[in-house]
Structure 1
Amino acid sequence: MPSLTLPECGRYIPPPVTDEDLEFADLAIVDISKAHTPEGRAELYPQLRDALRTYGFVYAINHGYDQAQRDRIFDIANVPFSVVPPDEMKTYTANIEKVGYYAGFKGRQFWKIDTENNVLDQIEQYGINKDVTRRPHPQALRPYLPEIDAFVRHNHFNVIHPILRLIALSLELPEETLVEKHNFNGTGESCVRFMKYYRRTKEEEDKSNNVWLKGHTGIIYVTICPYMPLNHADFGSLAVLWSQPVGGLQIKAPDGRWKWVRHIENALVINTGDMMDFFSGGFYKPTIHRVVQPPEDQRNYDRLGVFFFSVPDDDVRLLPCVESPVLHHFGIQRRCPDEDAPLCEAWRNGRTTTYGRSDLKKGMEHNVEEEVIEGIVVKHYN
């Protein structure tokens, strides 16, 4: 009989919530526990549809993990950055530019935040594929792999799949339409990612205008297809942020202003990504978002983040769901001819290998820089 005793883990004590008077985005809160019944899904999908169409972001509560389970995951998330020695970090460093995925460590000063002023990021991260045994892990993290595996499965089956069913219903498609593109045992790079945002020097903050990760959008172009707008911030279909108290996440609201995302204890912050834009024929456009310096009363704290990034199976082609009556009513925005639509694997590789690494050029718009990735002009908002 397996032991019910969890391995010891150092406690991560979260900083206090900010008291500053900030302009927060008015995001909808979805009770995801209602998604377990047909009646609940019928109630939820219009709410989710309107939230994602307005902001591209939504809160989810009652997702199945209690506060103690959530706190335990943050304890584990801090292990790669507080316990693993630097030499072992190097051993398990992800070869991002070569292989096109984030599994393993990404050290600080890897991404270019401000090319002109030579400011690099101060973010460490550790990525773990949905198959936690697929790649080896540092010694200090191995005792927690059963818990991480359970956490991965919880995100995949109890968060992502219910949201995908609601999105399918909102498009008047069979409930399993999008779920079938996200198989747990399929080949793909859905992953848990632990991220530690470290405090920066005043000089770095001044040079980069307090931006830690830029907001961005892009334009796909194909020589036989007209220019089509594509807003994206995450390359997959859905991203899940487990809410934590240190502020910094901002989204670009419909009125064009940057607004803060408020912390709600044990809530999830869910947003759509590039691939959902493809599947929905532009009906669900990802919202531009960025990370900036925390509010003044939190600037003495580092920011620990726990994420789950959902990516469809590698062999899924990024085609709009043309059978949707909703898309036919609103109009389908194709990013390229159907015969040229990329596979998920190709899109992921193209977005991952060059993100934050290529030199940016000034764009035509004010405070916008551009780079070309796999035939896509990507705009970064300062």
Structure 2
Amino acid sequence: MAIVLDEVPLVSMAEQANDPEGFAQKFGQSFRRFGFAMVSDHGVPQELIDRAWAKTKEFFALPEEEKRQYHIPGGGGARGLTPFKTEIAKGATHVDLKEFWHIGRELAKGHRFEAQMAPNIWPHAPEGFKETFLELFQALDDAGDRLLSAIAVYLGLEPHWFDRAVKDGNSVLRLLHYPPVPANAPEVRAGAHEDINLITLLLGAEEAGLELLDKDGRWLPVKPPEGAMVVNVGDMLQRLTNHYLPSTTHRVVNPPVERRGTPRYSMPFFLHPAPDFLIETLPSTITNESPNRYPTPITAHDYLFERLVEIGLIKK
């Protein structure tokens, strides 16, 4: 079926319960065309999201020296704080104008992935930070599982195909703060890049700035209605599907001059497979017209390490 979408559509997850095939087609077609989708009725409670925004703003408003105690040099930004102007997009000349905090999956002591997945760090303030973000992590993890099920259906796989891939996955919830920027700032808030993981679920794209690079070379703004989230394909899913689902380049541009005194916050949830998941091209995506681009499989852990070196979060 031809896809004639001119802009990223809004799809409702409420449809998934009654018409999983129909929802999978709408969501999958948006991924196929743009590498992006906008999703409403995602099931993450608005009260929880509002509480998370409040805690995020409280944390980033703390004095710099207090925040810095939660930075782990050499930790690759896996947990805790990554300070302002640390990350740089692959191939970029300017560092990104942002600081961020990472929360990962809580593992039981002695878990088999303990060596690959660092324990969480929790700040002393604001109060309720840990409880709020563990709850949000779980809610986004659940929503991500449902969206991966739709992708499996769209790809002709059984609905629970991704369950084994993401069980105890190395997913990360990122709390992002883009401070106000000077009118003449040469850098961008987040340089043009692709995500590393399977899919990203993004809260906070209502504030203008997120753009995707369309196939014709134009930058398209992605601005969901209030309460909806933006979801996009990551490089691991692109690799798994032999580029059938594209991991689209995107960026966060500096706002118009009159908005440069306003900070921007967002909360992307990077949904990763388990470290030992083997990223091996799906046979159904290999054809005469599209031969296998990745004949050598790679584990999710090794792939992630390679990419973190590229963006400067891990020094070799």
- Category of TM-score, reference length = shorter chain: 0.7 to 0.9
Secondary structure of the residue that 2:251 maps to in structure 1? strand
Give the match's secondary structure for 2:101.
strand
Q: 2:281–2:294: 8 Å Cα contact kept in structure 1?
A: no
Structure 1 pair 114–46 and aligned structure 2 pair: CA distance change class (3 A): closer
Structure 1 vs Structure 2 CA RMSD: 2.7
Structure 2 distance, partners of 1:200, 1:296, is 9
Displacement, 1:114? Answer: 11
Partner of 1:180: 164
- The match for 1:349 is 305
Q: Which one of 31, 38, 44 corresponds to residue 23 of structure 2?
A: 44
Q: Secondary structure at the match of 2:78?
A: coil
Query: What's the counterpart of residue 335 of structure 1?
Result: 293
Q: 1:312 aligns with which of 252, 262, 273?
A: 273
- Equivalent residues in 2 for 1:135-146, closer than 5 Å: 135-141=120-126, 143-146=128-131
Paired position in structure 2 for 1:268: 229
Q: Given the alignment, which residue of 169, 186, 201 partners 2:153?
A: 169
Report how many residues are paired.
Answer: 301
Contact persistence 1:237–1:274 (CA under 8 A): yes
CA contact (8 A) 2:84 2:97 kept: yes
Offset, 1:282? 1.7
Match of 2:80 in 1: 104
For 1:26 and 1:201, the matched residues in 2 are separated by 31
Residue 76, structure 1, aligned to residue 55, structure 2: yes
- CA offsets per residue over residues 272-295 of structure 1, 9 Å max, x none? 001001221221111110111113
TM-score of the two chains, using structure 1 as the length reference = 0.72
On the 8 A contact 1:61/1:266 being kept in 2, the answer is yes
Aligned position for 1:283? 244
Structure 2 letter corresponding to 1:242? L
How many angstroms apart in 2 are the aligned matches of 1:333 and 1:256?
Answer: 25
Say whether the 8 Å CA contact 1:88–1:138 is kept in structure 2: no
Q: Distance in 2 between matches of 1:204 and 1:126?
A: 23
Q: What's the CA shift string for 1:170-209, capped at 9, x where partnerless?
A: 11111111122001xx2x420111000112223423xx4x
The structure-2 alpha-carbon separation of the partners of 1:284 and 1:344, relative to structure 1 and needing over 3 Å to count, comes to same
Q: 1:201 to 1:356 in 2, by over 3 A?
A: farther
Q: 1:346: how far off?
A: 0.8
CA spacing shift, 1:212–1:254, aligned 2, 3 Å: same
Partner deviation per Cα, 1:220-264 (whole Å, 9 max, x = no partner): xxxxxxxxxxxxx00000001113432111101122101111141
Q: Does 1:201 align with 2:182?
A: yes
Matched, 1:160 2:141: no
Note if contact 2:49-2:136 (Cα within 8 Å) is conserved in structure 1: no
Choose from 79, 87, 92 the match for 2:70. 92
- Contact map agreement 1:101 1:189 (CA 8 A) in 2: no
Structure 2 unaligned spans of 5+: 1-5, 109-118
In structure 2, distance between residues paired with 1:318 and 1:167: 16
Kept in 1, the 8 Å contact 2:205–2:222? The answer is: no
Q: Aligned with 2:157: secondary structure?
A: coil
Query: Highest CA radius of gyration, 1 or 2?
Result: 1
Cα deviation per residue 1:100-156 (whole Å; 9 max; x = unaligned)? 45311011121347999x743321100100228932311014623222111111111
Higher relative strand content: 1
Which residue of 2 is the match for residue 246 of structure 1? 207
Q: Is the 8 A contact 1:132 1:149 kept in 2?
A: no
Unaligned 5+ segments in structure 1 are 1-24, 217-232, 359-372, 375-382
CA contact (8 A) 1:250 1:259 kept: yes
